[in-house]
């Protein structure tokens, strides 16, 4: 799945571009991303002639606010891509939804693997429409969290550090990739028990969470061969060049010059350096 930095990059780009655009037509190529609907017209008819007033985000969900009191909800999943296009641009085969504006082109959702989801909900009923919202933990890109609050929560929830970091009820939107990078930066092992951390280690972990997520945004997200990411302009993210451990098993660690290790943890590969404790 895409993680918090990638979804936030998309949100920021769309928020600079979409508000005040009015929707002229909507086309859905199939039912692949419309699992909540019985047919395509039930979805497309909800958007016609609506004006976009805002672009927000909750966790990994993009929320495009409309002037009719509803919200277009988009979850990119692991393969969804939102692209801004001119009307005349060739339509790629993976295009699932095309929204044409009265002026300034289109917004297209491409999803080759069918992992994305799109639907429209009443704005004041979003918590009902997406039950996970009520369970979300803090969002470090949306609202700063102090290291003391972070520490209290950490110590109150005994568990292995990577399991906590990738738990949306602890911190929303962090997956395997950024969890490994955060733990390397903090010098902590993936299987370290959370309630054994010292105050200094809690500070380091808190700083790593905030720092790595903001660094990823600065470099426009992470695009990898098996996890391609492009922004709405079609530009790839550049943070892959700055990854310290993810996908680099066998390479020399920048911290110790020893080979980076990987193990299966929670059903997925985890990358780490022997200096992490």
Distance of CA 207 to the CA centre of its chain: 20
- 192 and 248 in a single domain? The answer is yes
Q: Is the pLDDT of residue 94 over 90?
A: yes
Which phi and psi (to 5°) does residue 234 adopt? 90, 10
Mean pLDDT of the chain: 97
Residue 142 lies inside a defined structural domain of this protein: no
User: Under a CB-based contact definition with an 8 Å cutoff, are residues 44 and 26 in contact?
Assistant: yes
- pLDDT above 90 (res 105): yes
Per-residue pLDDT, 4: 97
What's the pLDDT score for residue 277? 97
- 245 and 223, same structural domain? yes
CA distances from 8 to 3, 61, 74, 235 (A): 9, 10, 13, 15
pLDDT of residue 257: 87
Find the largest Cα–Cα distance for the chain: 59
Average pLDDT over residues 89-102: 97
Indicate whether 58 pLDDT > 90: yes
The closest alpha carbon to 146, from 214, 206, 213, belongs to 206
Instruction: Domain count for the chain, please give it.
Output: 2
Q: Which CATH number covers residue 33?
A: 3.20.190.10
Percent of the chain with pLDDT over 90: 98
**Rounded to 5 degrees, what are φ and ψ at 99?**
-110, 120
How confident is residue 1, by pLDDT bands cut at 50, 70 and 90? confident
Give residue for tokens 């985000």.
57
Domain holding 201, by residue range, is 147-272
**Which tens digit of pLDDT belongs to each residue from 6-36?**
999 999 999 999 999 999 999 999 999 999 9
CA gap 67, 11 in Å, rounded? 18
Q: Is residue 29 in some structural domain?
A: yes
Query: Are 33 and 96 a contacting pair, CB within 8 Å?
Result: yes
Looking at the structure, tell me whether residues 153 and 256 fall in a common domain: yes
Model confidence pLDDT, tens digit, residues 67-85: 999 999 999 999 999 999 9
Overall average pLDDT of the 86-105 stretch: 96
Is the confidence at residue 122, as pLDDT, over 90?
yes
Is the residue at 182 inside a domain?
A: yes
CA–CA gap between residue 17 and residue 31 (Å, rounded):
27
Cβ-count burial 35-60 (b if 16+ within 10 Å, e if not)? eebeebeebbebbeebebbebebbbb
Q: Is the pLDDT of residue 272 over 90?
A: yes
Q: Are residues 258 and 162 in the same domain?
A: yes
- CATH code where residue 243 lies: 1.10.8.50
Give the pLDDT mean for 191-216: 98
DSSP code, position 61 = E
What percentage of the chain reaches a pLDDT higher than 70?
A: 100
């Amino acid at each position: 799945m895409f993680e918090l930095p990638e979804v936030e990059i998309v949100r920021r780009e769309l928020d600079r571009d979409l508000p005040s655009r009015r929707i002229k037509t909507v086309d859905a190529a199939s039912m692949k991303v419309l699992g909540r609907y019985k047919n395509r017209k039930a979805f497309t008819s909800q958007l016609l002639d609506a004006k976009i007033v805002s672009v927000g985000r909750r966790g990994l969900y993009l929320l495009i606010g409309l002037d009719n009191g509803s919200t277009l909800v988009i979850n990119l999943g692991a393969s969804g891509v939102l692209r801004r296009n001119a009307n005349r641009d060739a339509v790629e085969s993976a295009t699932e939804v095309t929204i044409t504006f009265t002026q300034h082109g289109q917004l297209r959702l491409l999803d080759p693997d069918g992992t994305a989801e799109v639907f429209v909900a009443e704005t004041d009923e979003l918590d009902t429409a997406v039950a996970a919202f009520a369970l979300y933990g803090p969002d470090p890109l949306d609202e700063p969290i102090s290291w003391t609050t972070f520490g209290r929560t950490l110590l109150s929830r005994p568990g292995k550090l990577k399991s906590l970091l990738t738990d949306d009820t602890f911190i929303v939107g962090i997956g395997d990739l950024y969890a490994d990078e955060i733990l390397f930066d903090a010098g902590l092992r993936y299987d370290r028990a959370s309630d054994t951390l010292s105050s200094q280690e809690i500070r380091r972990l808190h700083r790593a969470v905030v720092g790595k997520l903001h660094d990823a945004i600065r470099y426009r997200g992470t695009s990898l061969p098996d996890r391609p990411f492009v922004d709405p302009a079609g530009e790839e993210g550049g943070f892959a060049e700055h990854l310290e451990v993810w996908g680099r098993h066998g390479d020399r660690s920048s911290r110790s010059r020893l080979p980076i290790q990987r193990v299966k943890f929670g059903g997925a590969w985890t990358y780490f350096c022997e200096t992490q404790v």
